[in-house]
Structure 1
Amino acid sequence: MITNTIMIEPNQLLQNRYLVLKKLGKGGFAQTFEVDDRGIRKVLKVLTLGRFSQQESKQKAVDLFQREAAVLSRLNHPGIPKVEPDGYFVVPQETDESLHCLVMEKIDGVTLKEWRTENRNYILTQEQAISWLKQLVEILEQLHRQDLIHRDIKPSNIMIRPDGQLVLIDFGAVREITATYLQRQRDNITGTVIISTGYTPPEQMEGHAVPQSDFFALGRTFVYLLTGKSPTDFDRNPRTGKLQWRESSTPISREFCDLIEYMMATFQGQRPQKPQMILKCIEDIVSPKPPLPPPPPIPQMQHGLNQNKPRSILGIIFRFLQTKNPVVPWEKVKLRRTLTGHKDIIESIAISSDGETIVSGSYDGTIKLWSLRTGELQNTLKGHNNRITCIAISPDGQTIASGSYDQSIKLWSLSTGKFLQTLEDRPDRVRDIAFSPNGQVLLSIGEWEIKLWAVRTGRLLRILAGNSQAARLVAFSPDSNTCAIGSLNGTLELWHPNIGRQLRTFANRMCGIGAIAFSPDGQILASGSGNTIDFWQPQTGKLLNSFSIDSDSISSLAFSPDGKILASASGTIVEMWNVETHKRLSKLSGHAKPVYSLAFNPDGDILVSGASDQTLKIWQWV
């Protein structure tokens, strides 16, 4: 017989030891009661089997319950509820199934979710957040050292004692990492799926939880604590998959933001691999290394000068050398105009080779053609039935290529707007496309495959080797012989597309690659990862230089036609950089939401930006 009622009542004595005082609550697969254990108040957790109709499901619930009891009985840490070795027991029933019981330490306190409500939705300061993060990572260190994964970290599963000590609770989802479990992961066999919306990482949703899954959930928990909002309330960057939460947080340092982002990386391999790595990051934030001493002063150039008349001679030299400061491109910029008309995020833009036309692709499923000179809307192309993720214009200025989540690549006439053809071969959601500089081939990155197409015939030439699940971005070198592929897992690869051979992999970053661009002479491959811009030498794979920006994650990079200026988009800000000195020349603000695409005109004096605020902005240096 199956029943939803647990036959435990106040004043009932269990095991001749535990006196039931009152019912505390019900949730998940269990009911809880407060009991008296010889003068000590404790919590009794009783498994609810009545909700299961299948014997197999009931047995699975019992296994998880017994696992929780075994785990808690062998752990000893102030941040983990204590359970004595005999804390688990079974109470036989005459008519119903036996009751599975677990007695554990009663935590005096409230959950972090309740704590925020009681404190009028208080949002943590950085100092408090760092202190709490350190506590919770130290708790996870105890768990992971025992080869255990919690799998359900969230604000409602963390309690705070009156003395400020945090306690991780609800170990019903805990999983032991055994040799059998690891083999099942290698064989791609899905395990029990535990999902808490907004906190569960992608790999766990597919039944493949790993220790780094706990770090993801912990990072999402601190998004909640630092913003007061659920992670599901934030938009995600369509290129990187990252939550756009930073601007909503309490004032915290960029380094601490970066640590939270590090923990929440989409791919588990890009997260901290051990709790000690997070603790080291915290240590560096709290006690940063002192800056290097400044270089010794340069000696004054006084050799050969008449010391009796230094002012007059130096004055002559100064006046001789003094010239009017030359105008530096992009140090001064004006916003020429803002273009509106799209009804959703503008994900991609391109400018024709004659500098006359801007082409924009939007999540609203339309492609719009604008006059760069006047800002006039010239045409709207419709044909995709889902979001448009990428736009490219052929080098000869004749053809527009568009890629979409409707699993198609379409070619259009730039001059007439006429639809030409659809490139089809095993449909795949399209993430990025690029024409080769010689205009003969089109490279596309889909959800599963990286494909090379013949532009003239529309025929699929080849599928580049490798899994493209993480691949997001592609850029051709100016000589058409190589292409770069950037991925969310932090890899940056160089390929020879014509023969389908991978040439080299550049050093991994802990953040995914958010943007890539070749310099016009092909001597520099720029990549944006997190808030860092790297300059690589494509022929050797050598890292030429690296510098950090002040803004959020980089979403787009574009070189000026002469290769002297690099534009970067990060959050709502566009920044202009001197490629040689890495000096920031200007900072362009005007978009209300994150910028996703940048493009220079052929003369290099105009930059166009497209953003999720559904606008295009045309900037010009003066």
Structure 2
Amino acid sequence: MVLRCVMVICFALVPLSGRPGNCDGQVGELTTISLPTSLPKISSDNFTELQNLATFEIQDAIADVAWSRDGTWFVAGGFRFSHSPEGFYVFYVNSESITLLHNASTSVRALEFSPIDDTVFVATANEIRRYELLELHSETIVAMTVLSPHSNVFTAMGVSPDGSMLATGTDPESEISIWNAETGILVDQLPDLLSISSSPYAHGISALEYHPIHDLLAIGQLLESDHVVYMWNITTGELSRLTSLSQDTRLSEVAALSFSPSQDLLASGGYDGRVKLWSLHELSEIQLAGDYQDPGCVSGLDFSPDGTMLISNAASKADIQHPTDHVVFWSIPDAELLGTVTIPATQYPRFAFSPDGTLIAISFPRSIQFWGVVETP
């Protein structure tokens, strides 16, 4: 039996250029950083010239980042450090500058934009919040509604290709739920993954990602003994299991998932420090040439908008006194290692290409940076 319930707790209009309304909205002084003119698309020919173009200091360890479909909005959210009043950040982006417009006092577990409009869904510990980013009379407005209060802790989220459905995963129970994105009504659930897990210690959902066009959901689970990705066909109910045995004795649960724009590939990153590339046609692994293993966790993962590159994170082991991290670039579809770009040391970074391919947003424990290539005359 499907439980049908919805609870709308609060609704607020928050003008980003003035004092906030209810629901913990906050606005300080607007921070704007100018961008160089005519940024080129990041490609296999110029990625080694990447540099930090804008840094925004924040007070959180970022858990998730996302761009709106047209690149006008960028959002980030994370777990608040002690005494931090923020948690959810909204940026406005154009060809000339990036502006931090808004923050809200909430701890964010996951967030995702609707593929069809400027609605962003934010998973806190026990509820889903829907923010509508609107521009009225030259003033930006955030309309916030609370949907789907829950007894378990939300740990992952995805939005269907048409924006009508919302998938959530929880911990400690491996519960996958499908909600109506407008009303918050529960419409479907996946049976507990614990019953088919390869590990007696498995629990909770670590990552979710909707396929760009199909009713297909990729799922990662906490404390798996293998690098396992589950594929759930929501229409037919069929559940497939993609498995690649880890070559490491550490846990190899999946931490990040990303579908390719070509719609036929899935990338996964795990706590075994490896990136896996999967063929959705064959439901099998594609071997990456020049295997590059992170000594930590692969949490940053994204395809370029044109589908020709995949990026992932890797920590450097060369200099313990002056640690650095790397953005690793892979060519797609030939799955070869292109090279790396050095970035400041971070922990569990999140990466996201802008929709036009000119910027890469990178999260750090207390900052968000936007990287791009500056053309020389």
Give the TM bin, normalised by the shorter chain: 0.5 to 0.7
Distance in 2, matches of 1:438 and 1:238, equals: 25
Aligned pair 1:520/2:295, yes or no?
A: no
Alpha-carbon distance between aligned partners in 2 of 1:443 and 1:430, rounded to the nearest angstrom: 11
Query: Number of paired residues?
Result: 256
Whole-angstrom CA distance in 2 between matches of 1:329 and 1:528: 26
* Unmatched tracts of structure 2, length 5 or more: 1-59, 65-80, 82-92, 135-140, 195-202, 316-324
Q: What do the CA deviations read for 1:331-363 (whole angstroms, capped 9, x no partner)?
A: 6322211123x3xx312111112333110112x
Q: Is 1:508 aligned with 2:293?
A: yes
Q: 1:560 to 1:514 in 2, by over 3 A?
A: same
1:333 paired to 2:98: yes
Check the 8 A contact 1:511/1:529 in 2, yes or no.
yes
Equivalent of residue 442 in structure 1, options 217, 222, 244: 217
Question: 1:400 deviation in Å?
Answer: 0.7
Larger Rg: 1
Q: Is the 8 A contact 2:132 2:142 kept in 1?
A: yes
Q: Is the 8 A contact 1:552 1:570 kept in 2?
A: yes
For 2:314 and 2:375, the matched residues in 1 are separated by 16
Match of 2:120 among 339, 358, 364: 358
Match of 2:206 among 420, 431, 443: 431
**Shift of the alpha carbon at 1:422?**
1.0
Q: How does 1:219-618 map onto structure 2 within 5 Å? A: 329=94, 332-340=97-105, 342=106, 345-362=107-124, 364-373=125-134, 374-383=141-150, 385-405=151-171, 406-427=173-194, 428-447=203-222, 448=224, 449-457=228-236, 459-467=237-245, 469-470=251-252, 471-505=254-288, 506-530=291-315, 531-578=325-372, 580=373
Q: C-alpha separation between the residues in 2 aligned to 1:443 and 1:354?
A: 20
Q: Percent identity?
A: 22
8 A Cα contact 1:425 1:460, kept in partner: no
Per-residue CA shift, 1:203-244, capped at 9, x if unaligned? xxxxxxxxxxxxxxxxxxxxxxxxxxxxxxxx99989xxxxx
> C-alpha separation between the residues in 1 aligned to 2:348 and 2:192?
32
CA contact 1:355–1:372 (8 Å) conserved in 2: no
Q: 2:101 and 2:374 mapped to 1: Cα distance?
A: 27
For residues 483 and 334 of structure 1, the distance between their equivalents in structure 2, rounded to whole angstroms, comes to 32
* Aligned equivalents of 2:188, 2:204: Cα separation in 1: 17
Tell whether the 8 Å contact from 1:393 to 1:399 is kept in structure 2 after alignment: yes
Aligned to 1:243: none
Please identify, of 399-408 and 543-552, the stretch whose mean Cα deviation from structure 2 is larger. 543-552
- 2:349 is paired with a residue whose SS is strand
Equivalent runs, 1:71-90 vs 2, <5 Å: none
2:119 and 2:133 in contact (8 A); partners too: yes
Q: Distance in 1 between matches of 2:366 and 2:133?
A: 22
**Contact 2:116/2:162 (8 A) holds in 1:** no
Conserved? CA contact 1:403–1:433, under 8 Å: yes
Render the CA deviation track for 1:74-129: whole Å, top value 9, x for unaligned: xxxxxxxxxxxxxxxxxxxxxxxxxxxxxxxxxxxxxxxxxxxxxxxxxxxxxxxx
Structure 1: 5+ residue stretches without partners: 1-234, 240-246, 248-327, 584-622
- 2:163 aligned counterpart, secondary structure: coil
Instruction: Report if the CA contact (8 A) 1:366-1:382 is conserved.
Output: yes
8 Å contact kept, 2:62–2:363: no
Q: 1: distance between equivalents of 2:244 and 2:130?
A: 35
SS in 1 for 2:340: strand
Q: What do the CA deviations read for 1:539-576 (whole angstroms, capped 9, x no partner)?
A: 22222232122252352111111112111111121111
Give the whole-Å Cα distance in 1 for the aligned partners of 2:329 and 2:271: 18
The alpha-carbon distance between structure 1 residues 545 and 359, as it changes in their structure 2 partners (threshold 3 A), is same
**Counterpart-to-counterpart distance in 1, 2:126 and 2:94:** 36
Matching residue of 2:71: none
Structure in which a larger fraction of residues adopt helix: 1
Q: Distance in 2 between matches of 1:582 and 1:568?
A: 21
Is the contact made by 1:529 and 1:554 (CA closer than 8 Å) also made in structure 2? Answer: no
Any idea what SS the aligned residue of 1:346 has? coil
Separation of aligned partners in 2, 1:237 and 1:557? 11
On the 8 A contact 1:547/1:582 being kept in 2, the answer is no
- Contact 2:109/2:155 (<8 A) preserved: yes
Instruction: Evaluate the alpha carbon distance shift between residue 440 and residue 491 of structure 1 in structure 2; reply closer, same or farther with a 3 A threshold.
Output: same
Matched residues in 2 for 1:533 and 1:237: separation?
17
Runs of 4+ in structure 1 over 6 Å off: 235-239
Task: State how far apart, in whole Å, the 2-side matches of 1:439 and 1:514 are.
Answer: 24
